[in-house]
Structure 1
């Protein structure tokens, strides 16, 4: 890739992670190497299984494996989660320094920012480190203005209607 950009998928609608995964799938088809770091996701999801079939060209990393929602955690669990998030950012920085992939996806990174598990400055530092030829995709709700300013593309997923409103829970293979 000659010129990598910074993309953001945000909004209150479904599809932010799905869009990032779709872009990754497309990229692997052209021989690009994709790494995705998923935050705040502890349960199994379909992408963990399907990307294993891409011979190492699409790798997903999770450093925080808690199955609890952040707001259900006690202070000790939150501190432990914060340490794991820090390890994830060490990994991300090393990946960028080594220029070890073509596309780097930081899934639900906005959630770790809004829950104060990582500083906005550390995320901006990651974006500043980006090699010219690497694409970085960030997903999640409530994007800070400083990230919006750095992004080359921002897409908003807006909820118009959602099955949760009818009491339909998340479905295996569709929502996770």
Structure 2
């Protein structure tokens, strides 16, 4: 297996479409260059194209999800929020182990900023992951509303800005494009 000499911290944020897509694109490029990629997805439980894409690469690109299917966070009951918190804690502990064991070359924490926004993890917990990242691991974080403390720790921050979106015309999630 090839490996990175030096890994950095990338953040894809903003209110525009494309944060996860950019991370998956980086994953495909990395796998194509002999690197091993793990993607830990938060707040996503529906089938998506990236799950099928990852299967094409075998163990070179693996996607992990720990959450059971629920509605949007703001519609959850208190009981569902307790279950979700437990699932997020399991996912976070998985992330700690991946970093501790240097299990992959590129580690994507997809929609981790949504977890912060919903107060399911703290900024300190995410910063701890960044600080403990092995020198040769690339860490990619996605999601809206990235805190300044994480921007300060990152080496690359790209903001996706929505200029125009067909959602404004009533066109929502389309299979193969948004899912």
- TM-score interval, smaller chain: over 0.9
Unaligned runs of 5+ in 2: none
Contact 1:102 1:135 in 2 (8 A): yes
2:21 counterpart of 1:18: yes
Unaligned runs of 5+ in 1: none
Q: What is the distance in 1 between the residues matched to 2:75 and 2:173?
A: 19
Root mean square deviation of aligned Cα: 0.6
Q: What is the distance in 2 between the residues matched to 1:116 and 1:66?
A: 19
Q: Secondary structure at the match of 1:9?
A: strand
Q: How many residues align?
A: 176
**1:119 CA displacement:** 1.1
Corresponding residue number in structure 2 for 1:138: 141
Q: 1:127 aligns with which of 125, 130, 152?
A: 130
Corresponding residue number in structure 2 for 1:114: 117
Corresponding residue number in structure 1 for 2:164: 161
Corresponding residue number in structure 2 for 1:95: 98
2:70 counterpart of 1:60: no
Q: What is the distance in 2 between the residues matched to 1:72 and 1:114?
A: 15
Q: What is the distance in 2 between the residues matched to 1:161 and 1:29?
A: 32
Q: 1:81 aligns with which of 64, 81, 84?
A: 84
Corresponding residue number in structure 2 for 1:49: 52
Corresponding residue number in structure 1 for 2:107: 104
Q: Secondary structure at the match of 1:27?
A: helix
**1:72 CA displacement:** 1.1
Contact 1:43 1:67 in 2 (8 A): no
**1:120 CA displacement:** 1.1
2:11 counterpart of 1:33: no
TM-score by length of 2: 0.97
**1:99 CA displacement:** 0.4
1:117-145 residue CA offsets vs partner (Å, 9 max, x unmatched): 01111111101110000000000000011
TM-score by length of 1: 0.98
